[in-house]
Amino acid sequence: MNGPTAEGGKHGRTARGGRRGTSAEGRKLTRSFSWLALLGTLLVIAGIVGLIYTGVATLTSMLLFGWLLLIGGVVGLAHAIESRGTNYFWLGVVVAALNLAAGVVVIRHPEGTAEALTMFAALLFLTGGVFRLVGSVVVRGPQMGWTLLQGAFGLLLGLLVLFDWPHSSLYVLGTFFSLALLFDGLGLIAVGIGGRRIVSMVSDRLDAPGPATDSPPKAPEDGQK
């Protein structure tokens, strides 16, 4: 009797310890998903503020772009120095120097950089819209109507940006940057809330009481072999 009882108590303690470990892991996951949801909320707020103040968002995006170029140039230069003596050295130095120069120009002249990038974006919209329109008419695939709509929208957007240039550079890039922040934030909020719900459901199932394991096994009745 002592052997089975002790063994059953051991299994019960193991199960309770496993549940406690699972509960701790669940709390850690819940906190992680909560941080994701909080980060998403901050991004959504930043996106909404950027949509209200598009000029500030445009200058902010240009400054961030310039600093990213500078940091990338410094990292690339350090990597090139580490690989000196190889064929990659001079290519790495040239690329790093271009990144550093571009970063300095963007930081010193954010308005001019915004105008140039806005012109580039308008030309991309125009060429993309024209290619979609021509391609949908030539191919005539099953998605012809949708492709025509996309091409017409891209063409119209490119023309609107181009006709209002350079004044459009004050709000176009800031609007795109703010929309990217807004949608990224909404995605993080959805992941955070969904992850918290999944962890809560799994934790509830694992913490649900199962069959008793501490009770000793019943002795066989008389006459049964």
pLDDT (tens, 9 = 90+) of the chain, 225 residues, equals 455 555 444 445 444 544 555 566 667 777 777 788 888 889 888 888 888 887 888 888 888 888 888 888 888 888 888 877 777 777 878 888 888 888 888 888 888 888 888 888 888 888 888 888 887 777 776 777 777 887 787 888 888 888 878 777 777 888 888 888 888 888 888 888 887 787 777 666 665 555 545 555 555 555 454
Query: In whole angstroms, what is the distance from residue 122 CA to residue 125 CA?
Result: 5
Query: In whole angstroms, what is the distance from residue 133 CA to residue 157 CA?
Result: 14
**Coil, helix or strand at residue 98:** helix
- Could you tell me which of 166, 66, 73, 69 has the C-alpha nearest to residue 106? 66
Token match 């120095």: residue?
81
Would you say 170 and 55 are in contact if contact means Cβ atoms under 8 Å apart?
Answer: yes
Output the pTM of the full model. Answer: 0.62
Token match 């052997």: residue?
3
Would you say 147 and 135 are in contact if contact means Cβ atoms under 8 Å apart?
Answer: yes
Residues 6+ apart with CB under 8 A from 19: 206, 207
Q: How many residues does the chain have?
A: 225
φ, ψ at 86 (rounded to 5°): -110, 175
Would you say 66 and 103 are in contact if contact means Cβ atoms under 8 Å apart?
Answer: yes
Helices (DSSP H) in the chain: which residue ranges? Answer: 2-52, 54-82, 88-108, 110-139, 144-163, 172-207
Q: Where are the beta strands (DSSP E) in 93-203?
A: none
